[in-house]
Amino acid sequence: MKVLVLGSGGREHALVWKLRQSPRVTRVYCLPGSGGIAADAECLPGDLKNLDALLHTANGIQPDLTVVGPERPLSEGVVDEFSRRGWRIFGPTAAAARLESSKAFAKEFMQRHNIPTAKYAVCSSDTELREALELFGPPIVVKADGLAAGKGVVLCATSEAAAKVAGDMLSGKVLEGAGRRVVLEECLEGEEISFMVVSDGERVIPLVAAQDFKRADDGDTGPNTGGMGSYSTDALLDDEMQEWLLTHVARPVVAGMRAEGFPYKGILYCGLMMTARGPQVLEFNCRFGDPETQPVLMRMESDLLGGFMASVEGRVSDGDLKWSHDAAVCVVLASGGYPGAYEVGKKITGIEEADRVEGVKVFHAGTTFRDGAFYTAGGRVLGVTARGADLAQAVSRAYSGVGRIHFEGMHFRKDIAARALKSVS
């Protein structure tokens, strides 16, 4: 089978790497891919923002299955367009992807279906904002309704700060219209968990859980980023809690979307806060998490293609996915300045040496390749991912890989999975 993966980040590199291991996959294409992904897939030039050109390229290669990495093409209807042409594609339609592309839709949907989530208010004018602010005590979380590439959520310490942040979003001063509607939310406390399931529109099967490290700096300080690292172990979610999340979150979402006329197929990513009053949904994503996918796929023992085909063909069933009890960890190496302004084009050394460390695979998140060397080409550059018999071994292998890599301005968190390690030792 010929498989086409859309995207260019670390998540897509991990998808390509795992798909290549499938005995049924004969060719893996990645559009646009990257310098690093080119080692594991045939990269095709293209721009995911240009749906017509994308359809033209896909028509040329006639993939047997297409897998979509990022959210934007999903929210712009790539699945609708491919399906209309009779091409198999893994992911939700644009209408179903509103669970991620509109936070107001997601909150109202959760309320309609009794899915546990933080108290909220949706505002589309200054008057509504003023009224809503009366209902919340600080701290207040302000969220732009639309897609904002990880920049749409601000935790505000005071009501005045929330008014300013939300006001700037509503006026279009920031985020170019993604914040023309805003969601205010009560601030929740607890451990965050990323829980992904595969859905065929009716049934769901879980992937192993992961934890993402969103803040730029050690000790969960600094600004939010796309994710500076992640890990996955069995201990993150026991069987009882997994069943609870399936019963109270994942299955009701899929049943609710189906009942409302928008069957949800693909990956449903549930971002959860494990609070003292139980798990609460922070957000849904309509695709694989990045960088959670890197350690999660490292633990997958079954054929990833099988899971995708089961979703596309509407026959997802328990036992489709098999998992190792090993732990896996991903440490992201970012460009100097990220998540703010950063420079690209820095020469990277040591990737091969890192890849040679036992259990390590270096996934490329933003690199180019020229004249025999890799250069930085993004904010997040590499995801050094390692598997180990336990978390301590996975962490030690990942950081051993990190220690071999260098580029000017490189920064990374030194405490990925450290809290979990401390609690088991």
Q: Which residues contact ligand GLY by CB under 6 A?
A: 212, 227, 285, 289-290, 292
Nearer of residues 163 and 332 to ligand GLY, judged by Cβ: 332
Contact residues for 150 (Cβ-Cβ < 8 A; gap 6+): 224, 225, 226, 339
Please report, as a single letter, which amino acid is at residue 125. Answer: S
**Between residues 226 and 359, which has the closer beta carbon with respect to ligand GLY?**
226
C-beta of 347: minimal distance to ligand AMP in Å?
33
Q: 185 vs 303, which CB is nearer to ligand GLY? A: 185
Token couple for 298 = 């490292």
Number of residues that bind ligand AMP (CB under 6 A): 13
**Token match 């550059």: residue?**
381
For the chain, the first-to-last Cα distance in angstroms comes to: 46
Read off φ and ψ for residue 278, nearest 5 degrees.
105, 175
Catalogue the E-assigned strands of 276-399: 278-285, 327-334, 347-348, 360-364, 367-370, 373-376, 380-388
Q: How far is the CB of 263 from ligand GLY (least distance, A)?
A: 23
Please tell me whether residue 289 binds ligand AMP under the rule CB under 6 A: no
218 binds ligand AMP (CB under 6 A): no
Q: Which does 118 bind (CB under 5 to 8 A by kind): ligand AMP, ligand GLY, none?
A: ligand AMP
Q: Which is nearer to ligand AMP, 96 or 140 (CB)?
A: 140
Q: How far is CA 2 from CA 41, 62, 64, in A?
A: 11, 8, 5
**SS3 state at 124:** coil
Exactly one of 110, 267, 282, 405 binds ligand AMP (CB under 6 A); which one?
A: 282
Does position 153 bind ligand AMP by CB under 6 A? yes
Nearest to 365 by CA among 1, 4, 15, 25: 15
What residues numbered 83-122 form the site for ligand AMP, per CB under 6 A? Answer: 118
Nearest to 69 by CA among 100, 31, 21: 31
271 binding ligand AMP? (CB under 6 A): yes
Q: Which of ligand AMP, ligand GLY, none binds 91 (CB below 5-8 Å, type-dependent)?
A: none
Residue 313 tokens read as 């063909």
Residue 188 site contact among ligand AMP, ligand GLY, none (CB < 5 to 8 Å, cut-off depends on kind): ligand AMP
Tell me whether residue 29 or residue 284 sits nearer to ligand GLY (CB atom).
Answer: 284
**Minimum distance of ligand AMP from residue 313's CB (angstroms):** 31
Q: Tokens for 20? A: 């290549």
Measured distance CA(259)–CA(63) in Å, rounded: 31
Binding of residue 333 to ligand AMP (CB under 6 A): no
Quick one: what does residue 289 bind among ligand AMP, ligand GLY, none, with the CB cut-off 5 to 8 Å set by partner type? ligand GLY
- φ, ψ at 228 (rounded to 5°): -100, 0
**Can you give the binding site for ligand AMP, defined by CB under 6 A?**
118, 141, 143, 153, 155, 185, 187-188, 192, 214, 271, 282-283
